[in-house]
Structure 1
Amino acid sequence: MSTPKVFESEYRFCLILWDHEPIKSRDLAQLCEEQLGWKVTTTYTVIKRLSERGVIKNENTIVSSLVSKEQIQTAEIEELVEKKFAGSIPAFLTAFTKSQQLTADEIQEMQQMIDRFRKEHPDD
């Protein structure tokens, strides 16, 4: 099953939800008003939309997520790499590292990920 699409304003809503779940819908609406400047009706519309798409659930006015932050982030990166870099991770990393200065620790962490992948997938 693929991760449902979450748009930018919905993602900001989900960040609040992930930090406070499970949460009563009225309390969530209050947080969205404070942090996003949303009206209560906007929050309830987003709750309904995300519930219909299987991102969250709203049972007895208690809202909780069905999709994790990591799942949403992974889906977004996969979509970005596919759309902008024709699915090429090396092309994505080349573009990314041209505009971002990596620290020695970040480079080491990336190398460890590559080494771990090679160990787990020796025939790839």
Structure 2
Amino acid sequence: MIHKMTESEEILADIIWNHEPIGSGTLVKICADELQWKKSTTYTMLKKVIDKGIFTNEDSKVFSILSKEEYYAKQSIQFVEETFSGSLPKFFTAFISGKKISKKQAEELKKLIDEYGEDK
């Protein structure tokens, strides 16, 4: 289970993803310049995202364990599991409720279903 990041943690994560591998000193400088964070704030937030299993800090270099895409994919799967008992049709119904989708979107969805269906 991947723990959801707070808004501040997501901001830090984006900085890391955009600059990785990044030295922790450089990360502190970027956070001070862009977010007006103190060194202690940056290290506290870094510890939190490391504890969530998203990043690691080895020899003062910060690397991602999960890419941004992997993290958000896992969050999406977890959301569907928790909110819709893992049912994609229930999720999709709630997502589009009352909206119309374009013919192109419908074709893209059909293609995905065909591509990832169990019959393959």
Residue aligning to 2:119: 122
Q: Tell me the distance in 1 between the aligned counterparts of 2:76 and 2:93.
A: 15
Residue aligning to 1:20: 19
Runs of 5+ in structure 1 lacking a partner? none
Q: How many Å apart are 1:83 and its aligned residue?
A: 2.4
1:54-101 CA distances to partner (integer Å, 9 max, x unpaired)?
A: 321112221111112122112211221122222221111111112666
Q: Please point out which of 5, 12, 20 is paired with 1:7.
A: 5
Q: How many Å apart are 1:36 and its aligned residue?
A: 4.0
Give the paired residue count.
119
Cα root mean square deviation, aligned:
2.4
Residue range with higher mean Cα deviation, 14-23 or 71-80: 71-80
Q: Equivalences for 1:48-63 in 2 at 5 Å? A: 48-63=47-62
The yes-or-no answer on 1:72 pairing with 2:50 is no
Structure 1 pair 86–32 and aligned structure 2 pair: CA distance change class (3 A):
same
Runs of 5+ in structure 2 lacking a partner? none
Structure 1 pair 108–30 and aligned structure 2 pair: CA distance change class (3 A):
farther
* Helix, strand or coil at the partner of 2:63: strand
TM score, norm. by length of structure 2: 0.79
Structure 1 pair 39–105 and aligned structure 2 pair: CA distance change class (3 A):
farther
Residue aligning to 1:85: 84
Q: Tell me the distance in 2 between the aligned counterparts of 1:113 and 1:106.
A: 11
